[in-house]
Amino acid sequence: MTDPFHTNGLADRHTPLPLPRRHTRQVRIGSVPIGGSAPIVVQSMTKTDTHDVAATVAQVRDACAAGCDIMRVAVPDAEAAESLRGIVQESPCPIVADIHFDYRLALTAIDAGAHKVRINPGNIGAEDRVRAIVDRAGEAGIPIRVGVNAGSLERDLLAQYGHATSAALAESAARHVQRLEGWGFRDIVVSIKASDVWRTVEACRRFAELSDCPQHVGVTEAGLPLTGATKSAAALGILFAHGIGDTLRVSLTGPPVTEVQVACTLLSSLGLRQRGVTLISCPTCGRTQVPVCELAERVAEYVRTIDTPITVAVMGCVVNGPGEAKEADVGICGGKDSGGVFRHGEVVRRVPADRLFEALVEEIESLVRERNAER
């Protein structure tokens, strides 16, 4: 079989997917480990003006409440770098300083308490400036994320490859990692991103063959929520199936909370990590005699703040009710005038159709109490 990614035959392996997680070195961002045997970590980025500490902290808190583990903050100028001090102090999760062009901003951000700095060495400038960041990060005991994007590749690689190919992106990342390691710095996370699925996937797979650095994965500039979530799921699903990816961000034109919700749903769908309720709902058809869409939306809103890992199903009829959703912990299925409440595929009671939501809530609350008592 021809390898569609042209990466040393990885796709020719006859091992069933998903492949085991790639073994990477582990680094620690504040209290959060990345790589090694640590769970895949969810990240997002604030969309506020970093100068506004209160607004930025509020957005960080909302994202963390939704399941975010690490937040990145843009540092465009010296005032923003100084603002990090207050943001770090008030944040419920580790803060990453996002630096471009001016190496002095990275130094100030590290001094302000950032738990990690993200740099693109290709736009930081001369080697002595990158070295200054590495030295300061080493003194502070924090990692560096080497972030390589298709839109900001080094000129010599663009000249060599013609454009930002996956090979060029992987080579850029490997080059910068080797430089940092040559200076004795190994607390490195690498991200390689493009705005399209296949180039992102191939670049990450190429780099995975070259280094044991943990990878931050995602599609950059993915777009509005629907398009961006779809592109991100496509790329990340492929990468995770091949054991690549230690932390992720779903980059959307929208609030951080939406990014986090999509990321957590993606990980849960792949069985890689579950936080809170996984909701199953049928697509509906001509057999449906209850308002499934309305019910599913009400249930989704109700379970949004539940962090106990359970699976809930909202199904339209007995055909695709308990049978197709038998893996669900609890669920409902509609009928003409009444509906069934089921657990693990077995109907435990029937209620009038207009009582389905309330009956499901009762079952969810009962199940959550049971699960929490078992902890």
CATH code for the domain defined by 277-374:
3.30.413.10
- The residues near 246 (Cβ < 8 Å, ≥ 6 apart) are 24, 34, 35, 38, 40, 41, 189, 214, 215, 216, 217
Q: Which helix (H) or strand (E) holds 2?
A: none
Q: Are 219 and 251 in contact (CB under 8 A)?
A: yes
What are 286-311's pLDDT values in tens digits? 888 888 999 999 999 999 888 888 99
Q: How far apart are the first and last CA of the chain?
A: 48
Q: What are phi and psi of 213, to 5 degrees?
A: -65, 140
| pLDDT of residue 283 exceeding 70 | yes
From 3.40.50.720, 3.20.20.20, 3.40.140.10, 3.40.50.300, which CATH number describes the 10-269 domain? 3.20.20.20
Q: Where are the domains of the chain?
A: 10-269, 277-374
Which pLDDT score, from 0 to 100, does residue 5 have?
Answer: 38
Task: Evaluate if pTM is beyond 0.75.
Answer: yes
Percent of the chain with pLDDT over 90: 72
Which pLDDT score, from 0 to 100, does residue 325 have?
Answer: 79
